[in-house]
């Protein structure tokens, strides 16, 4: 179990750390901040889907985004795509579920995350 | 030879990372140091959930017989099965990829396709430890709104996945 679970997980972590370096949280904040509109919404959905940011980093980012005047729609979309969709982890997911299932799950969850973002924004 | 290469590929990646890390720290290469900081943060998250994951998979494997899983979250389990899959997911911690080994175990013990994807949906959005952090940072209103909207959607995804993949070649592989 160590070899089959921990090693692939470590490799995912390396990918995530490289990605976080290429797209640092400060840049994410710039694009998702106040008055970012439709572009901010799309950026949130795309970046959230690709990246996989640990909860204890992403929640502080989300809180600071709200303080900077980002809309609840953008923040909810960002958080939900982060949680439900994982492009970086897709290769690992394909190993477990096969290509069709893994891609379908991510596609459906992407649509769901967009709906969640829009509805949460409407409620709050 | 090619087979060997593939087998060691994942170690080569790790080894390369370790070497670059050491060099970056030794020579103060800033991008390298930033990546290492990111890695450490994610690593802390990983080691906090991995022991727990092993315990859950291990205990289920040994103590919960196949008939029980089949009966309670299998194909005929209905609403109770959905509720159980969600509760099981809520009690866990860690990022989504940590749930894949559990999904594998559940599937091989007879859980239905629907409940496996409901489990994954609940795992990604409703884990109790994460809800605690979320309430702390974003407030109870945000968290309630997000979870209540998510719930019907990931249950719907479970039904969709089951509808589409039943009687197709659905399987979950064990890694390695």
Q: What is the pLDDT of residues B20-58, one digit of tens each?
A: 889 988 888 888 888 888 888 888 877 877 787 778 888
Smallest CA–CA distance, residue B172 to chain A, in Å, is: 5
State yes or no: pLDDT of B7 exceeds 60: yes
For residues B166 and A3, the model is more confident at: B166
A9: number of CA atoms within 13 Å, CB side? 23
Task: Answer whether A64's CB lies under 8 Å from A25's CB.
Answer: no
**Which among B32, B89, B48 is positioned nearest to A55, based on CA atoms?**
B48
The band of B82, judged by pLDDT with boundaries at 50, 70 and 90, is: very high
A30 touches chain B (CB under 8 A): no
Q: Which residues contact A16 (CB under 8 A, 6 or more apart)?
A: A51, A52, A53, A88, B38, B39, B42
Task: Round the average pLDDT of chain B to a whole number and report it.
Answer: 88
The arithmetic mean of pLDDT across residues B150-166, rounded, is 96
- Listed in sequence order, the DSSP H helices in chain B are 2-27, 30-63, 66-73, 78-90, 100-108, 113-125, 128-165
With cut-offs at 50, 70 and 90, classify the pLDDT of residue B4: low
> Confidence band (pLDDT; 50, 70, 90) for B94?
confident
Answer yes or no: are the C-beta atoms of B69 and B109 closer than 8 Å. yes
Task: Give residue B6's Cα distance to chain centre.
Answer: 25
Chain A residues inside the 8 Å CB shell of B36? 17
For residue A105, the tally of other CB atoms under 10 A from its CB is 22
Hey, is the C-beta of B8 within 8 angstroms of any chain A C-beta?
no
What digits encode the pLDDT tens for the residues A7-17? 888 888 888 88
| Helix spans in A23-98 (H) | 25-32, 37-50, 55-67, 72-84, 90-97
What is the ipTM for the molecules in this complex? 0.89
Question: Which sequence spans correspond to the domains of chain B?
Answer: 1-48, 64-176
- Give the pLDDT confidence score for residue B5 in this predicted structure: 64
Query: What domain range includes position A53?
Result: 2-123
Cα(B147)–Cα(B72) distance, integer angstroms: 24
Give residues 76 to 95 of A whose Cβ lies within 8 Å of B. Answer: 76, 79-80, 83-84, 86, 89, 92-93, 95
Q: What is the pLDDT of residue B107?
A: 93
Query: Which residues of B are less than 8 Å from A84 in CB distance?
Result: 96, 121, 124-125, 154
Asked if residue B140 has pLDDT above 80, the reply is: yes
User: What is d(CA A96, CA B172) in angstroms, rounded to the nearest whole number?
Assistant: 5
Is B107 in CB contact (< 8 Å) with chain A?
A: no
| pLDDT above 60 (res B1) | no
> Which of A10, A26, A74 best probes binding to B when mutated, by most B CB atoms within 10 angstroms?
A10
Residues 6+ apart with CB under 8 A from A62: A75, A78, A79, B137, B138
Instruction: Please state the pTM of the whole predicted model.
Output: 0.87
| Residue A14 with chain B: CB contacts under 8 Å | 13-14, 17, 39
Q: Could you tell me if A4 lies within 8 Å of chain B, comparing CB atoms? A: yes
The count of structural domains within chain A is 1
The residue of chain B nearest to residue A92, with distances taken between CA atoms, is B97
What are the tens digits of pLDDT across the range A62-120? 888 888 888 999 999 999 999 999 999 999 999 999 999 999 999 999 999 999 999 99
Q: Tokens in use for A84?
A: 């439900």
Q: Is the pLDDT of residue B2 over 70?
A: no
pLDDT band for position A1 (cuts 50, 70, 90)? low
User: A32-61: per-residue pLDDT in tens?
Assistant: 877 778 889 999 999 899 887 877 678 888
Q: Are A55 and B45 in contact (CB under 8 A)?
A: yes
């Amino acid at each position: 179990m160590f070899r089959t679970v921990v090693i692939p997980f470590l490799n995912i972590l390396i990918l995530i750390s490289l990605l976080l370096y290429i797209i640092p949280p400060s840049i994410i904040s710039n694009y998702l901040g106040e008055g970012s509109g439709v572009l901010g919404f799309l950026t949130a959905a795309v970046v959230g889907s690709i990246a996989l940011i640990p909860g204890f980093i992403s929640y502080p980012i989300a809180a600071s985004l709200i303080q900077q005047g980002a809309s609840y729609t953008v923040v909810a979309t960002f958080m939900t795509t982060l949680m439900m969709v994982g492009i970086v982890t897709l290769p690992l997911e394909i190993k477990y579920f096969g290509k069709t299932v893994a891609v379908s799950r991510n596609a459906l969850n992407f649509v769901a995350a967009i709906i969640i973002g829009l509805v949460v924004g409407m409620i709050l | 030879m090619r087979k060997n290469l593939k087998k060691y590929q994942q170690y080569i990646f790790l080894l390369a990372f370790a070497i670059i890390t050491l060099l970056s720290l030794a020579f103060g290469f800033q991008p390298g140091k930033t990546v290492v900081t990111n890695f450490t943060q994610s690593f802390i998250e990983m080691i906090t959930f991995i022991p727990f994951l092993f315990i859950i998979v291990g205990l289920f494997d040994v103590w919960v017989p196949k008939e029980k899983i089949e009966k309670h979250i299998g194909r005929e389990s209905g609403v109770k099965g959905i509720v159980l899959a969600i509760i099981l997911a809520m009690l866990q911690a860690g990022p989504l990829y940590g749930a894949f080994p559990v999904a594998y175990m559940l599937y091989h013990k007879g859980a239905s396709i629907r409940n496996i994807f409901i489990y994954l949906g609940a795992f990604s959005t409703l884990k109790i430890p994460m809800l605690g952090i979320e309430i702390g940072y974003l407030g109870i209103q945000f968290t309630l709104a997000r979870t209540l909207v998510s719930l019907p959607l990931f249950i719907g995804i479970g039904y969709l996945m089951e509808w589409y993949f039943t009687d197709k070649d659905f399987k979950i592989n064990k890694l390695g």
